[in-house]
Amino acid sequence: SQTIHQWPATLVQPVGSPLSLECTVEGTSNPNLYWYRQAAGRGLQLLFYSVGIGQISSEVPQNLSASRPQDRQFILSSKKLLLSDSGFYLCAWSSQGSNQPQHFGDGTRLSIL
Amino acid sequence: SQKIEQNSEALNIQEGKTATLTCNYTNYSPAYLQWYRQDPGRGPVFLLLIRENEKEKRKERLKVTFDTTLKQSLFHITASQPADSATYLCALDNYGGATNKLIFGTGTLLAVQP
């Protein structure tokens, strides 16, 4: 069966520090991969979308970047964190094509001090 | 402007009753709509998908309707249980089904009282 792993579960970082969040998927190949941010009381905001290795679509202008160095690995990064980067970050995968459900990891709670 | 609206206030119901959650959208033409459940501190879990040409979809105690004229989806949980307490998110496709990107509503918190 397919599984998705995200780590760390929680992270506290100072303003201006770098960030690297990792997400890996097992049990499937060539998935679509997604990074979302969920602010308190807000919906999920799609940050990045990838249909294959090295193919990243940025959905909103921001201080973050994403990379997909391997088929089932998706990394969210920042060189310098801002206070506004605080939030709950979720990685998800789906099979290729439309009408596919998305399967989420358990997220990383990021607090910027 | 484009909007997806779900009941912003929590929905409180008694165990055994039917819970009905609403998702309204404006200025979207989704090819399909999905519903997810999210527990506190966890990622959303997929529940049901309904396509624009389907009026109703069922899965066990869950039922989803999709009215593209009213631009509304209703999500029903029959014989509700305290374990059904969670936030329920609707999500729609706005790309004519050409991609798998979704736009999520803010969710409705359902509390089922024993």
Tens digit of each residue's pLDDT (9 = 90 or more) over B39-58: 999 999 999 999 989 989 99
Residue A16 pLDDT > 90:
yes
Rounded to whole angstroms, the Cα distance separating A22 from A46 reads 16
Radius of gyration of chain B (CA): 14
Tokens standing for residue B100: 């798998």
Tens digit of each residue's pLDDT (9 = 90 or more) over B66-96: 999 999 999 999 999 999 999 999 999 877 6
Instruction: Say how many CB pairs under 8 Å bridge A and B.
Output: 63
Which residues of B are less than 8 Å from A96 in CB distance? 100
Q: Which of B43, B100, B103 sits opposite A98 (nearest CB)?
A: B100
Which residues of B are less than 8 Å from A34 in CB distance? 101
Tens digit of each residue's pLDDT (9 = 90 or more) over A48-101: 999 999 999 988 877 899 999 999 999 999 999 999 999 999 999 999 887 899
Residue B17 pLDDT > 80:
yes
Tell me the pLDDT band of B107, cut-offs 50, 70 and 90: very high
CB distance B26 to B71 below 8 Å: yes
Q: Which of A42, A46, A106 sits opposite B42 (nearest CB)?
A: A106
